[in-house]
Structure 1
Amino acid sequence: MPSGPPASPPEPGSYPRPLTDRERQVLALLADGLPEGHPARAEVPSAEAVRPCGCGTCPSIELSPAEGVEDDASRLVVSADHPDALLLLFVDGGHLSYLEAAPWHEGRAVRQFPPPEEISGVELG
């Protein structure tokens, strides 16, 4: 069961912007799946949302400094499970780049990231 009132999703068009408390908590949880000492772990406190996903069914966000990461840079992906969505953290070229909540159920939107206590199975893919 969720604890406390639900977090409000950010207003459309308010990018770039600081992460919400919920986004930062989920980001920190997934970043813990990175190898100890990985430089992207240090980016969690200062990460910002650069732009939202355009699908309209998820809260996924591009993270700074993704805009400066080369397309052919190395990629790490950390995944985690929630009953409503697969959660993914992409790290490109050693930097945080994308935080994703991919809905499991077609036609059922996931409007915000779930509370960290409802997330399980964090692992580096």
Structure 2
Amino acid sequence: MERNLTAAEAAVLEVLLLNASSDQETEPTAELRNQWVAQIPNLQVVHECGCGACPTIDFTDPKAKFNHRIVLSAFDDTQGAGILVFIDDNQLSCLEVYPSANEAAELPAVENISF
């Protein structure tokens, strides 16, 4: 069952795409980051994590194969949660929010995200 992004999910995704650090040797250019942001209005959530501890959402099949992955990362200090955006073959594929303790994590408020 596909669905549109919520306004909160889109806002978190945009802030991360524009500001979060990358796992690559060189940081993505502003032009590339803007290309990723331009994908947000057309994204569909195709899968939601069912673990009960996180609000992770996928925009592509989680089992899909890819050639190149970029991971952007940030943190929510208020709830001690990590936040990752996965970009596979230049397509946004996943927004992951994971708890760093044994408590469930929620989608962070944009103002609580640190880079």
TM over 0.5: yes
Equivalent position of 1:17 in the other structure: 3
Equivalent position of 1:37 in the other structure: 31
Please list every run of 5 or more consecutive structure 2 residues that lacks an aligned counterpart in the other structure. Answer: 20-27
Paired residue total: 102
Deviating 4+ runs (over 6 angstroms): none
Mapping for residues 54-73 of structure 1, pairs under 5 Å: 54-63=50-59, 66-67=60-61, 71-73=65-67
Equivalent position of 1:113 in the other structure: 107
Query: Of residues 63, 86, 97 in structure 2, which corresponds to 1:90?
Result: 86
Equivalent position of 2:68 in the other structure: 74
Distance 1:26 1:41 in 2: 11
Of stretches 74-83 and 44-53 in structure 1, the one that deviates more from structure 2 is 44-53
* TM score, norm. by length of structure 1: 0.74
Distance 1:114 1:37 in 2: 26
Report the 3-state secondary structure (helix = DSSP H, G, I; strand = E; otherwise coil) of the residue aligned with 1:32.
helix
The one-letter code sitting in structure 2 at the alignment partner of 1:82 is D
Equivalent position of 2:25 in the other structure: none
Please list every run of 5 or more consecutive structure 1 residues that lacks an aligned counterpart in the other structure. Answer: 1-14
What is the aligned-residue RMSD (CA, Å)?
Answer: 1.7
The one-letter code sitting in structure 2 at the alignment partner of 1:22 is A
The answer on whether the counterparts of 1:17 and 1:49 sit within 8 Å (CA) in structure 2 is yes
* Structure 1 residues 87-111: Cα deviation after superposition (integer angstroms, max 9, x where no partner): 00000010000000010112x111x
Report the 3-state secondary structure (helix = DSSP H, G, I; strand = E; otherwise coil) of the residue aligned with 2:13.
helix
